[in-house]
């Protein structure tokens, strides 16, 4: 039973062969390693975020987990199933949403194509109606449901597609770039919706996104992928805290005092009598108290880096 | 300006040559229906029957020529022009000091020239395979007659294509014109059957339509079916169609431009 | 099973609604198809007026041949066409992903789940044309001959569908070889000719088992005419088995090598 609530990956590899020369008779192939021997164990009680640069292997990993792609070697088990066998019992328990790809019928009112999923996954009409009302309230959707998709804005279409991808209430939903191309307000609404569904229906979301906030807001756990390898795996808050730098800027009375403070406490001087300290963790308060006890300071500021800056730095350093 | 057109033509041919595999294959597509026609004709003649006044060798030659000629003078709507009109690419052309008509004319026939070279080679091989002769029986007189005719048929074919394409000024979706033409033209132009074997009423009509001057008459000329006198009559009729299409294209273009400006 | 049927009906009712939104262009398409079939019938009429018995086959048989080809094509397009034709774009743009994760049979979802209603109208026209020809030429038909004909049309549709799947799979494997695909499909322009014109026996063999041109028109016509013995049905069934297995195998291997296009 424990097996059915986890994702387990054991030294997973995915290699592609890509043609590099266009010769008709002797094509030359190059092997690309999209996923390089990763192992992972994730409990489905928490959402999982996947960070990574373009080409780090995020989407490939999602496609391996959904069973769309075949792995080259290694083992994957999702909900106790081997994904690439694509057993109906497995497929009923997952949902996939790919930002920018549309599945609903363009010319018809959204509600009509949404109802098709009722026949695919087999649940009752009442249940369908209940879920639709529930979802529309959470997503703030009004009578758009009766409009054809072609009359909708990108944000509205995105909401419809999102509903379509998990109206069957699967155990796991994979969201591949769910908020690409959306404005800030729609993005935050979608994040709220994801959290709502997680709490209300116990759906586990696996999210890849270039919008850092999507993951920090919705996922307790995360992994950082770089070049096909996992370089961090664990708690999202821990990752952020671990790399959190606080930048303290002090203004001293004169350049000499500034230099002295810098030497004594390990900071760097910049122009106009300013000293800058970068500190990890929660040592800032202590440091300022110490300095204030010994020197006269005219001004100081503490600036925390936001999540986006931290993740950018992590990805850049690797 | 003529140097621009020459350069444009050469560039188009180079572009086409880059996709030569696709090019050759797409000509072979035409060859298969031709093969069917030739086999059917041979089958009928093998029982001692004859289609109209056509002898077997003549008919085989007619079919081969008609296939090449209809490739060269085929009428259709041309997507380039339609897209220019619909998506506003026309603006860009109108600002250039060349004529939009002649610009397209050069591109159209430069492509067709490459195509025809392939066509002639393949068709010649088909001819040898079917008739067993190495030299087709074409008289010098017929070749001269054909060249004069081609000089009229080429602009006529392009004018009709251009005319149909600029109908995009007036109708948003003229894809169906293409659809219908694709079905009707092989029949009406004499590519499927020589027009003179059609029942009398239909024959009279089809022989006078512009499509006949693009495929049926040129093919008949090359197979040596016309004496000079009847030949000149056909040339005259073709010229009349040419003038008609010059006029209606002029009108459609200038009216369409006004409409286009109103939209754009 | 019932759940598939319900999905099939509901999804295709939606498709029907969708087509009605664009009814104008669909009627023009039907009209174009009708023009095409009338011209094909006209072709044999003109030839018959000129050479009479020279075709060594009766005019009504030729008409049935032409209509059979159209019937096979329309059945294919109605039932499987939209699925098969969208195969290359599914692969190219990676939209196969969303089909792969649906808890339904993949072959059903890929090839049979969408009806192209336009061809339903065509099918009705075909039936009307058949009735006209039967009454015009006083062709006596028995229940038996109709049954045999329908069996043959069924086999022909299977063969034609499987062959088309193979062509589209080929064009996916050889990217930019769409000209190759259209070259192969252009052989089907030969299907309205009587089989007798392919006098070499190797040609007949090729046109049954390699490019099944004869199966989609001549075979049904012969079944309707009767008197060809069981060999005809064995040949058609074998052909169907061979092509369906090949298409099944081809699709399986395509899916195994499917590299989902990245977003």
pLDDT tens by residue, chain A, 318 residues: 456 789 999 999 998 877 676 555 666 788 888 899 999 999 999 999 999 988 888 988 998 998 888 888 999 999 999 998 888 889 889 999 988 777 888 888 888 888 888 888 888 999 999 999 999 988 888 888 888 888 888 888 888 988 998 899 999 999 998 888 888 988 998 999 999 999 999 999 999 988 888 999 999 999 999 999 999 899 988 888 888 777 888 888 788 888 888 888 878 777 777 888 877 666 777 888 888 888 888 888 888 888 888 888 888 876
Q: Is the confidence at residue B62, as pLDDT, over 80?
A: yes
Q: Which two tokens stand for residue B208?
A: 């006078």
- The mean pLDDT of chain C is 89
Total number of domains constituting chain C: 1
Tell whether C188 is within 8 A of chain B (Cβ): no
Q: Is the confidence at residue C260, as pLDDT, over 80?
A: no
Closest partner CB to C97 (pick from A16, A68, A116): A68
The pLDDT score that the predictor gives to residue B171 is: 78
Would you tell me which CATH number, out of the four given (3.30.565.40, 3.30.70.141, 1.10.3720.10, 3.40.50.300), belongs to the domain A2-241?
Answer: 3.40.50.300
Tell whether C26 is within 8 A of chain B (Cβ): no
Chain B residues within 8 angstroms (CB to CB) of chain C:
21-23, 25-26, 28-29, 32-33, 35-36, 39-40, 42-44, 47, 49-52, 173, 175-176, 179-180, 183-184, 187, 192-193, 197-199
Closest partner CB to A116 (pick from C11, C258, C259): C11
- The answer to whether the Cβ–Cβ distance between C14 and A116 falls below 8 Å is yes
Short-list A84, A308, A93, CA closest to A210: A308
Q: Which two tokens stand for residue A52?
A: 């990574």
The pLDDT score that the predictor gives to residue B264 is: 43
Tell whether C23 is within 8 A of chain B (Cβ): no
B158 and B97 Cβ atoms separated by less than 8 Å: no
Closest partner CB to C6 (pick from A92, A101, A119): A119
| CATH 3.50.50.60 for the A244-317 domain, yes or no | no
Candidates C15, C22, C98, C107: best to mutate against A (most CBs of A within 10 A) is C98
A298 and A251 Cβ atoms separated by less than 8 Å: yes
The pLDDT score that the predictor gives to residue A286 is: 80
The pLDDT score that the predictor gives to residue C181 is: 79
- The answer to whether the Cβ–Cβ distance between B29 and C179 falls below 8 Å is yes
Distance CA C163, CA C211 (A): 8
The pLDDT score that the predictor gives to residue B76 is: 64
Distance CA B118, CA B129 (A): 17
pLDDT, tens only, C130-158: 999 999 998 888 898 999 999 999 999 99
Distance CA C217, CA C70 (A): 8
| A31, A35, A39, A41: CA torsion to nearest 10 | -150
* Selected residues 94-133 of chain A with any CB under 8 Å from a CB in chain C: 94-96, 98-101, 103, 105, 107-108, 112-113, 115-116, 119-122
Average pLDDT, integer, range C165-172: 86
For residue A200, the distance in angstroms to the closest alpha carbon of chain C comes to 24
Short-list B11, B16, B5, B170, CA closest to B82: B170
Candidates C23, C190, C200: best to mutate against B (most CBs of B within 10 A) is C190
The pLDDT score that the predictor gives to residue A1 is: 46
Closest partner CB to B25 (pick from C183, C193, C199): C183
- The answer to whether the Cβ–Cβ distance between B36 and C186 falls below 8 Å is no
- According to the per-residue pLDDT averaged within each range, which of B21-25, B46-50, B160-164, C190-194 is highest? C190-194
| B199, B200, B205, B208: CA torsion to nearest 10 | 110
Which residue ranges make up each domain of chain A?
2-241, 244-317
For residue C262, being part of any structural domain is answered with no
- The answer to whether the Cβ–Cβ distance between C10 and A107 falls below 8 Å is no
The pLDDT score that the predictor gives to residue A282 is: 64
pLDDT, tens only, C20-64: 876 667 888 889 999 999 999 999 999 998 998 888 899 999 999
- Please list, in sequence order, all residues whose beta carbon lies within 8 angstroms of the beta carbon of residue A175, skipping any fewer than 6 positions away: A97, A99, A194, A205, A206, A207, A208, A209
Distance CA B37, CA B43 (A): 10
Closest partner CB to B183 (pick from C25, C35, C176): C35
pLDDT, tens only, B27-57: 778 888 988 999 999 999 998 899 988 999 8
Short-list A120, A199, A117, A192, CA closest to A160: A117
Query: C175 is in which domain, residue-wise?
Result: 2-256
The pLDDT score that the predictor gives to residue A155 is: 87
A236 and A220 Cβ atoms separated by less than 8 Å: yes
Q: What's the length of chain A?
A: 318
Q: Which two tokens stand for residue C241?
A: 């088995």
Q: Chains B, C: CB contacts under 8 A, how many? A: 87
- The mean pLDDT of chain B is 84
Q: Is the confidence at residue C111, as pLDDT, over 90?
A: yes
Report the chain A residue with the minimal C-alpha distance to residue C3. A119
Strands A268-270 and A274-280: antiparallel
User: Looking at chain B, which subunits does it touch, using at least 3 CB pairs closer than 8 Å as the criterion?
Assistant: C
- The answer to whether the Cβ–Cβ distance between A91 and C95 falls below 8 Å is no
Short-list B193, B213, B76, B65, CA closest to B148: B213
Q: Is the confidence at residue B75, as pLDDT, over 70?
A: no
Total number of domains constituting chain B: 1
For residue C263, being part of any structural domain is answered with no
Distance CA C101, CA A172 (A): 12
Beta-ladder partners of A94: A172
Short-list A228, A191, A264, CA closest to A72: A228
Distance CA B33, CA B70 (A): 13
pLDDT, tens only, B216-264: 999 999 888 788 888 999 999 999 999 999 999 999 988 888 777 554 4
Place of tokens 């100081």: A300
The pLDDT score that the predictor gives to residue C175 is: 59
Candidates C39, C43, C44, C46: best to mutate against B (most CBs of B within 10 A) is C46
User: Looking at chain C, which subunits does it touch, using at least 3 CB pairs closer than 8 Å as the criterion?
Assistant: A, B
A153 and A116 Cβ atoms separated by less than 8 Å: no
Residues of chain C neighbouring B41 (CB-CB closer than 8 A): none
Percent above pLDDT 70 for chain B: 94
The pLDDT score that the predictor gives to residue B86 is: 75
- The answer to whether the Cβ–Cβ distance between B180 and C198 falls below 8 Å is no
Q: Which two tokens stand for residue B205?
A: 């009509």
pLDDT, tens only, C79-102: 999 999 988 888 877 778 888 888
- φ, ψ (nearest 5 deg) of residue A214: -50, -45
Query: B87 is in which domain, residue-wise?
Result: 2-263
* Selected residues 100-129 of chain C with any CB under 8 Å from a CB in chain A: 100-104, 106
């Amino acid at each position: 039973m424990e097996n059915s609530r986890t994702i387990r990956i054991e030294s997973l590899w995915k290699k592609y062969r890509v043609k590099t020369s266009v010769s008709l008779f002797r094509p030359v192939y190059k092997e690309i390693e999209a996923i390089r021997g990763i192992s992972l164990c994730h409990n489905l009680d928490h959402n999982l975020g996947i960070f990574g640069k373009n080409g780090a292997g995020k989407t490939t990993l999602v496609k391996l987990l959904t069973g769309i792609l075949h792995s080259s070697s290694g083992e994957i088990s999702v909900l106790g199933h081997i994904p690439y066998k694509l057993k109906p019992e497995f497929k009923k328990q997952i949902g996939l949403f790919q930002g920018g790809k549309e599945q609903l019928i363009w010319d018809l009112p959204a509600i009509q194509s949404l109802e098709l999923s009722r026949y695919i996954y087999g649940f009752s009409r009442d249940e369908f109606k209940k879920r639709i009302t529930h979802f529309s309230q959470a997503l703030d959707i009004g009578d758009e449901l009766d409009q054809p998709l072609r009359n909708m804005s990108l944000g509205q279409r995105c909401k419809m597609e999102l509903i379509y991808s998990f109206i069957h209430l699967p155990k796991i939903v994979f969201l591949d770039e769910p908020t690409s191309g959306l404005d800030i307000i729609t993005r935050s609404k979608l994040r709220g919706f994801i959290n709502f569904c997680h709490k209300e229906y116990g759906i586990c979301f696996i999210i890849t996104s270039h919008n850092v906030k999507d993951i920090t807001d919705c996922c307790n756990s995360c992994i950082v992928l770089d070049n096909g390898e996992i370089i961090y795996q664990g708690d999202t808050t821990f990752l952020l805290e671990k790399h959190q730098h606080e930048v303290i800027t002090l203004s001293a009375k004169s350049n000499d005092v500034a230099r002295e403070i810098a030497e004594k406490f390990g900071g760097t001087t910049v122009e106009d009598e300013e000293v800058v300290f970068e500190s990890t963790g929660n040592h800032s308060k202590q440091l300022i108290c110490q300095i204030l006890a010994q020197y006269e300071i005219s001004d100081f500021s503490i600036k925390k880096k936001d999540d986006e800056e931290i993740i950018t730095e992590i990805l850049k350093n690797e | 300006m003529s140097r621009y057109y020459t350069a444009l033509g050469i560039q188009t041919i180079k572009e086409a040559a880059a996709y030569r595999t696709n090019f050759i294959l797409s000509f072979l597509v035409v060859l298969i229906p031709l093969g069917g026609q030739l086999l059917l004709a041979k089958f009928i003649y093998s029982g001692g029957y004859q289609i109209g006044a056509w002898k077997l060798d003549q008919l085989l030659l007619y079919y081969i020529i008609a296939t090449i000629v209809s490739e060269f003078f085929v009428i259709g709507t041309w997507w380039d022009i339609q897209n220019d009109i619909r998506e506003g690419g026309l603006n860009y052309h109108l600002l250039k000091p060349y004529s939009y008509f002649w610009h397209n004319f050069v591109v159209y026939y430069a492509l067709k020239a490459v195509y025809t070279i392939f066509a002639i080679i393949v068709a010649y091989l088909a001819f040898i395979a079917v008739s067993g002769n190495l030299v087709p029986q074409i008289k010098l007189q017929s070749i001269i007659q054909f060249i004069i005719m081609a000089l009229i048929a080429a602009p006529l074919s392009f004018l009709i294509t251009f005319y149909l394409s600029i109908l995009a000024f007036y109708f948003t979706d003229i894809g169906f014109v293409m659809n219908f033409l694709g079905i009707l033209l092989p029949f009406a132009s004499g590519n499927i059957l020589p027009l003179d074997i059609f029942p009398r009423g239909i024959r009279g009509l089809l022989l006078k339509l512009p499509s006949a001057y693009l495929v049926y008459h040129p093919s008949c000329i090359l197979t040596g079916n016309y004496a000079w006198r009847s030949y000149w009559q056909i040339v005259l009729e073709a010229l009349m169609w040419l003038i008609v299409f010059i006029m209606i294209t002029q009108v459609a273009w200038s009216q369409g431009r006004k409409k286009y400006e109103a939209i754009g | 099973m019932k759940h598939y049927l319900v999905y099939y009906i509901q999804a295709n009712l939606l498709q029907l609604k969708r087509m009605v939104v664009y009814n104008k262009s669909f009627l023009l398409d039907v009209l174009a198809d009708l023009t095409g079939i009338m011209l094909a019938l006209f072709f044999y009429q003109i030839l018959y007026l000129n050479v009479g018995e020279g075709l060594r086959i009766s005019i009504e048989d030729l008409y049935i041949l032409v209509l059979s080809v159209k019937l096979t094509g329309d059945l294919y397009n109605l039932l499987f066409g939209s699925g098969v034709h969208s195969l290359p774009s599914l692969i190219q743009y990676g939209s196969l992903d969303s089909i792969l994760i649906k808890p339904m049979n993949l072959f059903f979802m890929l090839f049979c789940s969408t009806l192209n209603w336009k061809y339903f109208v065509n099918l009705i026209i075909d039936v009307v044309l058949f009735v006209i020809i039967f009454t015009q030429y006083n062709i006596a038909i028995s229940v038996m001959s109709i049954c045999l004909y329908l069996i043959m049309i069924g086999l022909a549709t299977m063969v034609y569908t499987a062959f088309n799947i193979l062509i589209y799979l080929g064009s996916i494997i050889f990217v930019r070889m769409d000209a190759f695909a259209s070259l192969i499909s252009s052989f089907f322009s030969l299907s309205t000719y009587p089989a007798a014109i392919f006098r070499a026996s190797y040609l007949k063999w090729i046109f049954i088992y390699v490019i099944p041109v004869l199966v989609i028109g001549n075979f049904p016509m012969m079944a309707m005419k009767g008197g060809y013995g069981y060999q005809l049905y064995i040949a058609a069934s074998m052909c169907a088995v061979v092509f369906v297995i090949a298409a099944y195998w081809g699709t399986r291997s395509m899916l195994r090598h499917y590299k989902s296009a990245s977003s």
